Amino acid sequence: MSLLTVMQVAEMLALRVSTVRAWVWRNKIPYVKLERAVRIRKDVAEGLVERGTVTPVSVRDTREPEGGNTVESTNPNGAR
């Protein structure tokens, strides 16, 4: 098990140290408290990246539906 400091996690995630500290203070992320020192497991920090990763969707679907009309947008409101 690898433990990281708050500063290391902030650097890893390209965030401010104050942001990571706020997450700890608000119990938004699990952490380890060793006396006064706060450490965050590396797998927890990596999990934040995994959970925050968004898969891109196709902007334009060029398949032709029945009837020969080309679908121009995947917007559910039909806006172009």
Provide, rounded to the nearest whole percent, the portion of the chain with pLDDT above 90.
60
pTM over 0.75: no
Domain layout of the chain by residue ranges: 3-52
Euclidean distance between CA atoms 40 and 62, whole angstroms: 46
> Which residue has 């290391």 as its token pair?
8
- Helix ranges (DSSP H) in 1-80: 6-13, 17-25, 42-52
Segment 10-47, tens digit of pLDDT? 999 999 999 999 999 999 999 999 999 999 999 999 99
For the chain, what is the mean pLDDT?
A: 85
pLDDT at 68: 61
Give the number of C-alpha atoms closer than 13 A to the C-alpha of residue 46, restricted to the C-beta side.
Answer: 7
